[in-house]
């Protein structure tokens, strides 16, 4: 257990306190975890887009109908579904 300073009244309070006992300011103890999660989610968004773009490129460059076209469509689907899952999870956390 550590003591932290309340950003509202500048008095020392327990870091695990849910609210400041002096001024009643609610302390978000889970704030850091949420921040890390959203940061990880933000990283996943461009990754999922990248996978979808790679898939699209595979489809577009697959002029002779080889197996790469199928792989490309699969990658596009994975990328799009991943993108929507991340978008929903971000919305869920912030909504
Ligand atoms: Zn306070």
Count up the domains in the chain and report the number.
Answer: 1
Secondary structure of residue 3 in the 3-state scheme: strand
According to the model, what pLDDT value does residue 32 have? 57
Domain region containing 22: 3-94
pLDDT digits (tens, 9 = 90+) for 23-60: 998 887 555 555 666 777 788 889 999 999 999 998 88
According to the model, what pLDDT value does residue 7 have? 86
15 CA to middle of ligand 1, Å? 12
Q: Which residue has the higher pLDDT, 48 or 63?
A: 48
14 CA to middle of ligand 1, Å? 11
pTM of the predicted protein model: 0.54
């Amino acid at each position: 257990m550590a003591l932290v300073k309340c950003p509202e009244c500048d008095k020392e309070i327990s870091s695990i306190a849910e609210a400041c006992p002096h001024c009643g300011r609610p302390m978000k103890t889970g704030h850091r975890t949420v921040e890390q999660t959203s940061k990880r989610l933000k990283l996943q968004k461009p990754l999922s887009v990248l996978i979808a773009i790679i898939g699209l490129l595979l489809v577009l460059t697959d002029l002779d109908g080889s197996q790469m076209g199928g792989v490309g469509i699969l990658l596009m689907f994975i990328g799009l579904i991943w993108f929507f899952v991340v978008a929903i999870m971000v919305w869920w956390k912030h909504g």
